[in-house]
Amino acid sequence: MPTVELGAENFESTVTDNEIVLVDFWASWCGPCRQFAPVYDAASAEHPEIVFGKVDTEAEQALAGAANITSIPTLMAFKKGNLVFSQPGALPAPALKQVIDAVVELDVDKALAEQSGESAESGE
């Protein structure tokens, strides 16, 4: 699946309406962003089951601010609407693959239950 341009009008619905969403916060003037773009695009072609979004931080300054983006590129991963990964810096292909694999394998419901202390009470 090709990457999807995300903005204020579709960011939240994209994150909440899809199982897994990766988001690349970037800008056209950013050298590391330009280096990361082909790696990100290739991963999107390899994983059609995942939504790969891109946010142009110049065009979407309010959205970048709301996401607390202080360095670009920044990669965020959401699973079932929950932020499960956020890291600035251009990742090489093997590192991006590790992130994708980890997000796919993550049991977000269990992680949220453990985080809130419910797993011990529910017997999971």
Point out the residues that are catalytic. 30, 33
- Kind of pairing, strands 20-26 and 74-79? antiparallel
Is the sign of the CA dihedral 111, 99, 38, 44 positive or negative?
negative
Q: Which two tokens stand for residue 51?
A: 């939504």
How far is it, in rounded angstroms, from Cα 105 to Cα 123? 21
Q: Strands (DSSP E) along the chain, which ranges?
A: 4-5, 20-26, 51-56, 74-79, 82-88
